[in-house]
Amino acid sequence: MEVLFGTVKELVELAESQNKPISEIMIEQEVLLTKRSREEIIAQMENNLNVMEDAVEKGLQGVHSTSGLTGGDAVLLQNYIATGKSLSGDLILDAVSKAVATNEVNAAMGLICATPTAGAAGIVPGTLFAVKNKLNPTREQMVNYLFTTGAFGFVVANNASISGAAGGCQAETGSAASMAAAAIVEMAGGTPQQSAEAFSIVMKNMLGLVCDPVAGLVEVPCVKRNAMGAAKALVGADMALAGVVSRIPTDEVILAMHRIGQTMPSALRETAKGGLAATPTGKALEAQIFGREKVGSGSTN
């Protein structure tokens, strides 16, 4: 299949040689591969942006999952920001709160947009709607933010994995936070290469993160991993914009993530058998939520 880019190196070279943002290269490749019109593609991404915005707003009003494990933290964070006492900074905490809001809606079986997965759906919109208040982007720039995250995610999905069952949480929230960092850089006026550096810096700090959901639910620790993923994305973007570079090239960081995922034991890849899921409290919560129902045949009807 004919593609414009299969690696981050090719993506950055294309963007820099043609003097185009990464989001534009992603749109051009989408036109090429799917044979759909540019307008249709942009309209679909606008729809995804609207879904993300609605989810953030819903989460900020306060939602709770049926298990009772998650919910309400986005509201706590907004209330805390309003006191003016935040130590890490209002923008970071706003991003954290909006990431949490999205994942709380997801855990409550609400409508979200996977970025790149549902379990990691908070980081991209959380950072976007927080950075929005500082950079005042147009709606078009916000849509482009999503195309830029998609371009990096496309490389990860095809060269490594975006599935927690295959590669652990590093493949999900790790990918999401790295993708978001790259898009923040573009929105803030950084170069395509700086986007790649931001991606690498964040991904290097997500390597090895396991997928160990308590009771198999996308709640504990998923919601808080989205919170921290959003914070790391912002710090990584700032580091790249300051001129910090990664010693290991982005494509090699992605391959390292892939290899780490392949060697990760199955207990730590979304089976709810290891890590936090296997702690005494994790087990007790599982028993409390599912009772005896979870064990044995799941015959229904």
Q: What is the footprint of another protein within residues 187-206 (CB under 8 A)?
A: none
CA–CA–CA angle 107, 113, 118 (5° rounding): 45
35 binds another protein (CB under 8 A): yes
Q: Are 182 and 235 in contact (CB under 8 A)?
A: no
Interface residue with another protein, options 14, 151, 233, 257 (CB under 8 A):
151
263 binds another protein (CB under 8 A): no
Structure tokens at 88: 């890490």
Total interface residues for another protein by CB under 8 A: 71
Q: Where are the alpha helices (DSSP H) in 174-279?
A: 175-187, 192-204, 222-241, 250-263
272 binds another protein (CB under 8 A): yes
The one segment of 10-18, 84-92, 119-127, 227-235 that binds another protein by CB under 8 A: 119-127
SS3 34: helix
Interface residue with another protein, options 4, 166, 276, 278 (CB under 8 A):
166
Interface residue with another protein, options 51, 91, 255, 276 (CB under 8 A):
51
21 binds another protein (CB under 8 A): no
Interface residue with another protein, options 97, 127, 149, 195 (CB under 8 A):
149
Question: 148 Cβ partners below 8 Å, 6+ apart?
Answer: 21, 22, 23, 26, 179, 182, 183, 186, 195
Nearer to another protein, 202 or 239 (CB): 202
- Nearest approach, Cβ of 237 to another protein (angstroms)? 18
Q: Are 232 and 206 in contact (CB under 8 A)?
A: yes
Structure tokens at 71: 């919910």
Question: Residue 125, preceding bond cis, omega within 30 degrees?
Answer: no
Q: Which residue has the tokens 């090895």?
A: 208
Q: Tell me how far apart the alpha carbons of residues 98 and 46 are, in angstroms, rounded to a whole number.
A: 19
Interface residue with another protein, options 218, 240, 253, 254 (CB under 8 A):
218
33 binds another protein (CB under 8 A): yes
31 binds another protein (CB under 8 A): no
Interface residue with another protein, options 17, 19, 138, 299 (CB under 8 A):
299
58 binds another protein (CB under 8 A): no
Q: Tell me how far apart the alpha carbons of residues 149 and 85 are, in angstroms, rounded to a whole number.
A: 32
- Nearest approach, Cβ of 81 to another protein (angstroms)? 25
- Nearest approach, Cβ of 22 to another protein (angstroms)? 12
